[in-house]
Amino acid sequence: MEQFIKVRFGDAPCDSFSVDVDENGKLGLDVLGLRTKILSRLKLPPDADLVLTYYDLEGDVVALHEDGDLHAVMERRPEFLSICVQMRLKKKKRRRRQEEDQTTYLKLSEAMECLEHICTRGCTIVGPYDMEPTKMKGPCSKFSTCKGVQLLIHHFATCKKRVNHGCLRCKRLWQLLRLHSSICDRPDSCRVPLCRQFKLRMQQEEKKDDARWKLLTRKVLKAKIILSLISAPLEN
């Protein structure tokens, strides 16, 4: 014997499937198994926090939280079980926040790469102090990010407010330089300005270092590893 189940989720078309029922009228899935099957059929993330409800004979909305709720439904031997699926908003917002944060870390990691190659090889209008402008390379593969870093460097070189820390754009470059120094593993030979100085200063003030800054450093370093894996050429 089978129990036909119809699933409604937002504005998506209704989905239906059948589940085996034993001779005692017990459904072949518990609530956890039912959630897993619905997640799979609706192609939702496996960690999505779902709320399952159905309308009983009196027209009341009943939540399916536990196996007992599901057993109570099956005792009525419904011909067609219609389940409404909702995703908890908090979980959805948390996932969106995590995705936005990950995007930010990836962008910062990309900015770190651009800062390093600008100071090492040069790119279009900005390069090392000892390199002739005519020998600087053309736009790189990440020029959309690189151009923004170049504009910050160019602004920093001519800004009159940076001495008194009164310029937001200059502060951004200081933060990029500090962040680079936090993840750089060769400060003695690094050509990014102030890398070694920032590293020494952070070592001296390690106990006073902001916990949020340390967390940011770890996140950006992790994103840097992800970027390197994504951009690595495939071996034949």
List per-residue pLDDT tens for the chain, 236 residues long: 788 888 888 877 888 888 888 887 788 888 888 889 988 888 888 878 888 888 776 667 788 888 888 888 888 777 778 888 888 766 567 777 778 888 888 888 888 888 888 888 887 767 776 666 555 566 677 777 888 888 888 888 888 776 555 688 888 888 888 888 888 888 888 888 888 888 888 777 665 556 667 777 777 877 777 666 555 443 43
Question: What kind of fold does domain 2-87 have according to CATH?
Answer: Ubiquitin-like (UB roll) (3.10.20)
CATH of region 96-231:
1.20.1020.10
State the Cα–Cα distance between residues 228 and 222, nearest whole angstrom.
10
pTM to 2 decimals?
0.49
Domain boundaries, the chain: 2-87, 96-231
Task: Report in angstroms the alpha-carbon separations of 18 from 14, 57, 95, 164, 190.
Answer: 14, 21, 31, 71, 63
DSSP result, 177-208? HHHHHHH-S-TTT--STTHHHHHHHHHHTGGG
